[in-house]
């Protein structure tokens, strides 16, 4: 017998193995062996538990086994069998002389996208834009798409499974191909109302050696399905023009700012505020970023002219609200602020007349040295008093040093304005000698202004020069100079 016996090796388990696994190596020879063959196992570089020339255990004269405990390392372990048959022929090199040692856990890289609907398939999911973490907190109806890329030298033993905590569910679009060393699987989670907070993604997928998969990257995203607290205490302050009335717009205003009180929750992670009129956005949306923890917010349109204001805020009573949107997209709209937009000036006063008081003589539309005060009356229409209007007396288009004003009752058709003078000196200080131009300025409740045509008033405080050279001449009868007698019938 000069023929070398052949030997075939099998392994149980017949798969990649990891540290601590017990592997039964079975050597089946083509003929009976004279004595116990030996086994040597060369481990991967850097590995442990190498075996050198160790006797195997007989199952029969041609079948021998060895129980091997796997050590550390990664790669190929090589088995060498040495033995002789009864004719002392050494065995040929064994077939199937290697097995794989795998102590590396599969790595599953997680990235995230937020979609409005569940992708139809992996191709649709692949078209989304992914980031290392969810771009924002997610809210009710959002679809969180998790892209799981698995890298594993020996392939997975079963399909990759992702799970979420807090009774949340996550579903794979397709099953991972376990025969592939690199695979991408897409998972989707539809956000339901409630269960707010941090959602944790767990990875389950052993490789063929039994190493448990580990996730790389961010494993959490934030669920926020709670609307922010609505803004309160809205107030509008107009700018531009002569008059600015709270929560009112008039013909002179060129812009406005709305302020409101908010709570700190809306600004967490970046919230926004938007001003609405009649429940709708402005043609150019009026928005502001809300800082984290902010307790107030101000919104100002970009208007610079009265025309722009009046085009956006039509005349009448308008409903202004503030919409708050938190970083997850949850929305809360405030109660309405009622804003009066009145761009019509009141009808100018007419029929101005001045009546002096005090002194010996009072002349219409004139002031003399004896007058201690005066009153100007005017005819008005009822529109100026609606909501509370005012009238002011002007001299030379300017206010008196102490403004002379009067409230105008709703529906009033006349108004009277009287300074607080009590002496001739006060009158003359305010109304110096000469022709004076008096006007009445009417301001309605919105701040719109109309000034009347002028009333010309003569202020003359100088007495005429006394007469001199008086001479008395009687006529009729007997005339005696500077005397009258019984015969005189007249005199000059």
Residue-wise pLDDT for 263-320, tens only, equals: 877 866 679 999 999 999 999 999 999 988 899 999 999 999 999 999 999 999 999 9
Asked if residue 388 has pLDDT above 80, the reply is: no
Round to whole Å and give the CA distance between 56 and 38: 6
**Could you tell me the fold of the domain covering 350-459?**
Immunoglobulin-like (2.60.40)
Round to whole Å and give the CA distance between 396 and 408: 22
| Domains in the chain: boundaries | 7-101, 107-223, 232-341, 350-459, 468-492
- Give mean pLDDT, residues 457-468: 93
pTM of the model: 0.75
Q: What pLDDT score was predicted for residue 385?
A: 66
Q: Which two tokens stand for residue 79?
A: 């088995």
Q: Which two tokens stand for residue 385?
A: 């008093």
| CATH class of segment(s) 232-341 | mainly beta
**Who's near 248: CB < 8 A, 6+ residues apart?**
236, 238, 339, 340, 341, 342, 445, 446, 447
Asked if residue 382 has pLDDT above 80, the reply is: no
- Alpha helix segments (H runs only) across 290-372: 306-312
Say whether 439 sits in a helix, a strand or coil. Answer: strand
CA-wise closest residue to 285 among 265, 295, 299: 299
**Who's near 468: CB < 8 A, 6+ residues apart?**
none
Whose tokens are 């196992």? That residue is 41
| CATH class of segment(s) 107-223 | mainly beta
Task: Indicate if 107-223 has the same CATH topology as 7-101.
Answer: yes
Query: pLDDT tens for residues 233-261?
Result: 999 999 999 999 999 999 999 999 999 99
| CATH placement of domain 7-101 | 2.60.40.10
CA 447 vs. chain centroid, Å, equals 33
Round to whole Å and give the CA distance between 270 and 272: 7
Q: What pLDDT score was predicted for residue 410?
A: 87
């Amino acid at each position: 017998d000069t023929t070398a016996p052949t030997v075939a090796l099998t392994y149980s388990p017949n798969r990649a193995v990891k540290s601590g696994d017990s592997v039964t190596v079975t050597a089946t020879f083509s003929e009976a062996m004279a004595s116990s063959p030996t086994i040597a196992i060369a481990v991967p570089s850097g590995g442990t538990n190498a075996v050198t020339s160790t006797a195997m255990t007989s199952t029969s004269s041609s079948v021998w086994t060895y129980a091997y405990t796997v050590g550390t390392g990664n790669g190929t372990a090589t088995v060498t069998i040495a033995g002789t048959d009864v004719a002392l022929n050494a065995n040929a090199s064994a077939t199937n002389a290697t097995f794989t040692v795998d102590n590396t856990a599969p790595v599953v890289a997680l990235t995230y996208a937020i979609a409005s609907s569940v992708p139809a398939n992996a191709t649709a999911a692949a078209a989304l834009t992914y980031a290392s973490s969810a771009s924002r907190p997610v809210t009710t109806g959002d679809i969180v798409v998790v892209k799981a890329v698995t890298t594993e030298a020996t392939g997975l033993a079963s399909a990759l499974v992702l799970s979420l905590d807090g009774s949340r569910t996550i579903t794979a679009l397709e099953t991972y191909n376990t025969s592939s060393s690199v695979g991408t699987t897409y998972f989707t989670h539809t956000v339901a109302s409630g269960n707010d907070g941090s959602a944790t993604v767990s990875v389950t997928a052993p490789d063929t050696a039994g190493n448990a998969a580990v996730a790389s990257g961010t494993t959490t995203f934030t669920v926020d399905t709670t609307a922010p607290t609505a803004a309160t205490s809205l107030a509008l302050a107009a700018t531009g023009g002569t008059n600015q009335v709270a929560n009112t717009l008039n013909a002179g205003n060129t812009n406005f700012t709305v302020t409101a009180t908010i709570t700190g929750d809306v600004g967490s992670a970046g919230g926004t505020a938007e001003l609405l009129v009649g429940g709708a956005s402005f043609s150019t949306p009026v928005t502001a970023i809300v800082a984290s923890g902010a307790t107030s917010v101000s919104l100002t349109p970009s208007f610079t002219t009265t025309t722009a204001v009046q085009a956006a805020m039509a005349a009448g009573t308008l409903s202004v609200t503030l919409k708050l949107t938190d970083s997850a997209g949850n929305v809360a709209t405030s109660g309405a602020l009622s804003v009066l937009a009145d761009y019509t000036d009141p009808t100018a006063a007419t029929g101005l007349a001045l009546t002096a008081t005090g002194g010996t003589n009072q002349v219409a539309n004139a002031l003399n040295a004896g007058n201690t005060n005066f009153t100007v009356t005017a005819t008005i229409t009822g529109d100026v008093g609606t909501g509370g209007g005012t009238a002011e007396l002007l001299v030379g288009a300017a206010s008196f040093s102490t403004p002379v004003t009067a409230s105008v009752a709703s529906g009033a058709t006349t108004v009277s304005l009287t300074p607080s003078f009590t002496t001739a000196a006060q009158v003359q200080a305010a109304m110096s000698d000469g022709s004076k131009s008096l006007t009445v300025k009417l301001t309605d409740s919105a701040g719109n202004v109309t000034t009347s045509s002028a009333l010309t008033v003569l202020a003359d405080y100088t007495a005429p020069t006394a007469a001199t050279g008086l001479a008395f001449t009687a006529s009729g009868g007997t005339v005696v100079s500077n005397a009258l007698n019984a015969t005189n019938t007249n005199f000059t």
